[in-house]
Structure 1
Amino acid sequence: MAFPNQLPPPPAQTMGSSNTVFITETRLDLSYLTTPSGIIKAVVIAFNIISFICIVSSAFSSNGRGVYFCIVVFCAFLFTGTMLILYLYHAVEKYHNIKWLKIEMITYIVFVFLYLIAATVAVAFGSAAYSAAGFFAYLTMVLYGIDAFLKARALRDGQLAQGHRTVSKQVHMVTPPAMP
Structure 2
Amino acid sequence: MLNLVLFGPPGAGKGTQSEKLISKYNLVHISTGDIFRAHIKGQTDLGKQVSQIIADGNLVPDSITIAMLEEEINKNPQAKGFIFDGFPRTVAQAEALDKFLKDNNSSITGVIALDVNEQELTQRIAKRQEISGRADDAADKLKKRIEEYFGKTIHVLPYYEAQGKLSKVNGIGEIETIFTELSQVIDSYSA
**How does the TM-score come out when normalised to structure 1?**
0.29
Q: Which has the higher contact order (CA 8 A, sep 6+)?
A: 1
**How does the TM-score come out when normalised to structure 2?**
0.27
Give the structure with higher Rg (CA).
1
